[in-house]
Structure 1
Amino acid sequence: MPPSGVPRVALSRLPGERVRVVGADGERELPASELAAHVAEIEQDGARWVWDDTARWYPPLLEAGVRVARCHDLRLSRRILTRAPAVDRDLLEGDDADLWDRLGPAVAALPTLFPVDDRIEHLDAGVEDRRQLAAVAASSEAGRLRLLLAAESAGALAAAEMTHAGIPWSREVHERILDEQLGPRPPRGARPAELEALANELRELLRTPGLNPDSRPELLAALQRSGLTLTDVRASTLRRQTHPCIEPLLRYKRLSHLFSNNGWEWIDQWVRGDRLHPAYQPAGSSTGRWSSNGGGALSIPMQVRPAAVADEGWCLVVADVAQLEPRVLAGMSNDHALAGAARGADLYQAIVDDGAVASRAEAKVGMLGALYGATTGDSGRMLPALMRRYPRAMGLVEDAARAGERAQVVRTQLGRGSTIGGADDWGHTDEGAPADPDAQASRRRSWGRFTRNFVVQGTGAEWALCWIAELRNSLWRLGGQGALTARPHLVFFLHDEVVVHAPSELADKVTACLTEAAASAASLVFPDVSIDFPLNVTVVRSYAEAGK
């Protein structure tokens, strides 16, 4: 991770499209049009850029050809610190604190440095930075929090760079897939030919001439009139039914999803030239996992993956970590027996070899049950054996679940805190009436399942952030003197998977960078226990070839 002694330079927006720059050499103001050149000059000597929101500041710099090594994202960091159990919330109060709490994420797909001229757009980054530094310094877990804030901010830089660079994408391949699956592009508002043909077939089979298959109430009523006892029209429900309409209906749903989510309008909106530019939202969930601001940033369906094609002479290096959450549980619980099982490529088989359960399938079902709160059925039968063999690991998630049921905050390895989920309302129905004891107990158990998984999923997100932070910098160093997109660079990230676009001759070096970054992330997040995070790495021309 970046060194802590790097000079901090705070950037604040001012009225009139001007910027205040405050660094070790004093304060100055300059026009926004001169900011990129100024940042590039200072970046040569190293700096940590302190700003309100990376998605507001960094995209214009990238467009100007300026890449920065490190930043401190005040919005993301404040969100962490105000919820962290080890932070005194009073230290974050003061001038404009309420405005900082209200500051939302910019939409990275449509960045603008000066969107609206009001108070929330002209917050003083230096004032908030000093508050945050003081709150961290006073914490009993200052070291962990500094690492978390650095990783969160580095992730925001990576997200902006991935949106800027884009995923190499062949519009020709994508449109050919749509033509083959759906027929020619229809006029706006009309169904493609294949969907319309299936809709007509369903109308005949269900004897409902005016049926709109896209209307769930209409479809459900037509199915019920045909003798099917259904309460929903989910694909999983339909597959259990026997009727001539089921096969064409499932095909209709699959093709309708393709048309709606990755059809021609999606291409027009998100593919520019030969790049797909999806928009990420770092820490979009309470656990710290990312979400998407558009373009399906966290989901590239199998149907259209053939369109993700590397440039000529380049390749896609695809890597995902095996069994991330069980390994995270081993590390954060410091359960030496489970940590031993995690030192290898297949943790589930190691659990079998350890004598905890009889088969790999039982190990997987039992471990996932412990992580997600499935305490009945096959998962429930495995839990006692896992508890006996790995008491510290199983005890950690059980304690987190009990804390959630008591409406207490739980925390990740590096100190991110959970919310309490509206516990004040557990005793009432959604309409405000007193809830019966069974309903109250159900709500408490539900929140216990959330906190059980929060500690592990959130820590897994922290490991992944450290992984991509280390990887981002090692790829930059690997690329020589070129611009961001001329070097190996990240183009996709999904929880425990990354895709790197790289010159083919550097594929082996990129693979080594991926592995070294995973090991570095493990030592940063779990310094007191040795845990392996083995990667499945494939080098392909098209994303569709990964994992075959």
Structure 2
Amino acid sequence: MRIAITATGAGRVAIGDPDGPERHEVDREHLPALVARLEAEHAPRWVWRDTREWAPLLLAHGVRVARCHDLRLCGAILAWSTAVATARDEAPARPEWLPPGPAEAPVDEPVAPVASVAAHAALFELDAPSEIRSGDGSRPPSLADLDAEHDRQLALADAADSPGAMRLLLAAESAGALVAAELRTAGLPWDRGEHERVLEAALGPRPAPGRKPDRMEELARAVREALDAPSLNVDSHADLLRALRAAGIGVGSTARWELREHDHPAIEPLLAYKRLARLWSANGWAWLDEWIVDRRLRAEYVAGGTATGRWATSGGGALQLPKVVRGAVTADEGWSLVVADASQLEPRVLAALARDPAMAAAGRGRDLYRAIVDAGVVESRDEAKVALLGAMYGATSGDSGRLVPRLGRAYPRAMALVDDAARTGEAGRRVTTLLGRSSPLPPTSWHETQARANGVDATAADERRARSAARDWGRFTRNFVVQGTAAEWALCWMASLRPRLAAMSLPPGAPPASASGPAFERMPHLVYFLHDELIVHAPEGLTGAVADAVRESAAEAGRLLFGEAPVEFPLDLDIVRSYAAVS
């Protein structure tokens, strides 16, 4: 059963089941109670334009839905996928009221930030009209519009090269949209006091507005003295580069790796200054004031935020939490963090995609990199890691360039898969993940470079630029198929875990996690996700059951994508009070 939701204007909401009697129009304030009743009675798949329009309102009132179909995200997949190319040419066009997905901007244009569901300062002010909350300014679609677009998308999925795979991808992407909304609502447990102690230990006391922390000022003075540049603005890249060169330090940039190649008294204080500047700007006191709300980091996750389907953030920086502040990620009293990391996910996905028996066997029940060493392919675990990453990302020089050919001899199917993806990209064509997400085409500038190289008056420089551009795009498509399929595995992992967690409830006498909100305070819940890692906030009496659910969901994700392929997806799993305690 499916039930669609859309705004009708003037604070009213329409709900309709195209094949049944459930049709309602209510004020927004009455929507959560109605959704809760229909969810309990029918367990439908909710159909809406954009999960960000409705999930925050429902979650704020303690209402979770099990399933949805996000027309915006699913429409974006279908608009690109080579798996539905023929059917798409014959199908009706995507409607104008359906905004593009976050990863649909042309590659040669900057991607605009995804509009927040609401301004951060008004996180829980949930009475804004949905047509404003969606961020695109278009009229809200009618229930008939939603039904028609849902039918169009399902017809495309059914006409795909592999209909089951495309249906799974659309379901997983929509589940990911629900998870992203739930992560923001529940929030990542955060101990502000611990974070402030870290800042004070590293930077000194909180500075007055407009001033830098004491420790940064001390390091800046040390840099100026070492470079004999008393008026140097250490934060100016151009000024710093001139001062370094004037002091006889021949650098082409101020990158950390390049600075470390030089022995000069300015280098150590400069590197220390850069580390502290990053901490202060990215996770300092101003970040704490903005993003820690009621003992929680409520970051803005962007499901499907990159071309490969990996997530992004449009605020809060949750995908880039430095280790130095992870001690602030601390469970509530009576609760723990179940932290799970999919070990060596992308190499294992490559083995499963390629159906490479030798690589699959290497990762069975053990460290994949160590198994490559034991097989005599390379001499050390570090070399194995460098070689595999080089193969997946297209490295052709240094240690990677030297070691990758050895992998080709040991694991021919796996290396043939990524090599073929690279050749496809070099020719300017798309590649597609296991379930059906396709890469974008190269940007206009890429095609112009290739055209110049093929012109009658092309120079040797034109040809070199064209070859270089082709290789660069080939490196992108080489990795796209692996990283994109790994993202699909992670979506299926979370989609499988959500209902398992929802079936658990707070043990008698255990304290609720009140800061997580009414939807999550009495059940274990996801609070963090980073590509191949997730964290569940769990009552202490349920941590064992949660750990089992996390493992079972990972195994199910492998079966959903790869069937009985003999590839294991093991997890590194820890049950801790603080994220900093993870080994």
Alignment CA distance shift 1:103-1:355 (3 Å): closer
Matched, 1:80 2:77: yes
Matched, 1:445 2:471: yes
Unaligned runs of 5+ in 1: 1-6
For 1:280 and 1:192, the matched residues in 2 are separated by 30
- The amino acid across from 1:398 in the alignment is D
Matches within 5 A, 1:335-414: 335-414=356-435
Matched, 1:176 2:176: no
1:195 Cα deviation after fit: 1.5
Alignment CA distance shift 1:92-1:248 (3 Å): farther
Matches within 5 A, 1:129-278: 129-278=150-299
For 2:554 and 2:180, the matched residues in 1 are separated by 18
1:285 Cα deviation after fit: 0.6
SS at match of 2:320: coil
Deviations 1:153-197 (A, max 9, x none): 111111111110111111111112212221222222211122122
Matches within 5 A, 1:419-458: 419-422=440-443, 423-427=446-450, 436-458=462-484
2:109 maps to: none
1:491 maps to: 527
1:49 Cα deviation after fit: 0.8
For 2:434 and 2:449, the matched residues in 1 are separated by 28
2:130 maps to: 114
Matched, 1:509 2:527: no
For 1:303 and 1:529, the matched residues in 2 are separated by 39
TM-score by length of 1: 0.93
Work out which of the residue numbers 8, 25, 28 in structure 2 matches 1:14. Answer: 8
Alignment CA distance shift 1:256-1:107 (3 Å): same
- The amino acid across from 1:122 in the alignment is P
Alignment CA distance shift 1:115-1:206 (3 Å): farther
1:468 maps to: 494
- The amino acid across from 1:524 in the alignment is L
Deviations 1:392-441 (A, max 9, x none): 11111110000000111100010100112124233368xx9977000000
Alpha-carbon contact 2:4-2:15 (below 8 Å) kept = yes
1:248 Cα deviation after fit: 1.2
1:30 maps to: 26
Unaligned runs of 5+ in 2: 103-113, 508-517
TM-score by length of 2: 0.88
Deviations 1:348-398 (A, max 9, x none): 222334454444333322222211111333323333332233221111111
For 1:92 and 1:44, the matched residues in 2 are separated by 35
> What is the aligned-residue RMSD (CA, Å)?
2.2
Alpha-carbon contact 1:108-1:163 (below 8 Å) kept = no
Moved more, 19-28 or 455-464: 19-28
Count of residues in correspondence between the two structures: 539
2:566 maps to: 530
Alpha-carbon contact 1:317-1:537 (below 8 Å) kept = yes
1:3 maps to: none
Matched, 1:100 2:109: no
1:277 Cα deviation after fit: 0.9
- The amino acid across from 1:396 in the alignment is L
SS at match of 2:434: coil
For 1:231 and 1:257, the matched residues in 2 are separated by 21
2:554 maps to: 518
For 1:313 and 1:28, the matched residues in 2 are separated by 42
Alignment CA distance shift 1:115-1:197 (3 Å): farther
- The amino acid across from 1:469 in the alignment is A
Deviations 1:318-338 (A, max 9, x none): 110111111001111112222
1:108 Cα deviation after fit: 4.4
Alpha-carbon contact 1:55-1:106 (below 8 Å) kept = no
1:476 Cα deviation after fit: 1.3
